Amino acid sequence: MGWYDALEAGELVSAPSEYESKRFGVSVDRVSVSASAGTPLPEVLAAVGKSTADVVVLRYPAREVTWFAALASGSRTALLADSLVYWSLPVGKGRRPAPLAGFNAGLESAIDDDLVDDLVGDIFGDYGNHYCADPLFDRVRALAGYQEWARRSIASEGAVVLRGPDRRVLALATVDQQRSWTEIELAGVVPAEQGRGRYGHLLAAVEDASTSKRLVISTQGHNTGVQRAWARYGFEPVHTLLTVHLVTPGLLPDERFQGGR
């Protein structure tokens, strides 16, 4: 969920998710409540109630701590699917690492699709995204969705790439450049180079490539390792969303088994 929908939309947004429905073979609606919306719980429940999708992926501000009980008491099965934590940094304020001799980093307008798939597969293959909470969402297909997302983003805006002395790609970041912010969408270091300080160099290259005055980024709440890296670089946390999957009764494997007893 992007920065605008999470913090600045100012309203509840509900829409079918064509990409997810096609990929997973179940109909999916997305309902999101931004930090600035001030949406009351009855309006959220009404939006969920109107949906005829198999799964409603609902995201709402974590400050609304009373909402989950009401969601879990409804007609749909409620699955808590972690949280999203949003961080922000004024461009030019990052704590940049010393340059690496022989390494090169910058915005590249085109990257081969097969290379993108390999990089995203290596970097995010074990990432515990919100789909993992729901048996209806296959993990392999979820990763394929991240690969497709990366290809679309790169085709539109390129990607920031860190290359070693042999020109191999060591780290990759896809970005969404807006007037008021630059959002880092997918960013990571290939497993063989992790733990060697490469991530800070990738962030510095994103900062250099930014066309706005603010960098923003988000991740699942359990992903504390990367959040420590953001804190070291100078990012600060600004918002947390909860993710809940609301599933039509009888679709989950345990419910189907019980129904056949």
For residue 63 the two structure tokens come to: 């400050």
Structure confidence at residue 258 (pLDDT): 57
Task: HSE, CB side, 13 Å, CA atoms: give it for residue 111.
Answer: 31
Dist CA 256 CA 261 (whole Å): 9
Spans of the chain, pLDDT less than 50: 261
pTM: 0.94
- Residue 22, phi then psi, degrees to nearest 5: -70, -40
Structure confidence at residue 254 (pLDDT): 78
Strand order in the sheet with 77-90: 12-16, 28-33, 55-61, 236-247, 77-90, 214-220, 182-189, 169-177, 159-163, 104-108
What letter represents residue 21's amino acid?
S
* DSSP letters spanning 1-29: --HIIIII--SEEEEE-HHHHHHHSS-EE
Structure confidence at residue 261 (pLDDT): 46
pLDDT tens-digit profile of 74-99? 999 999 999 999 999 999 999 999 99
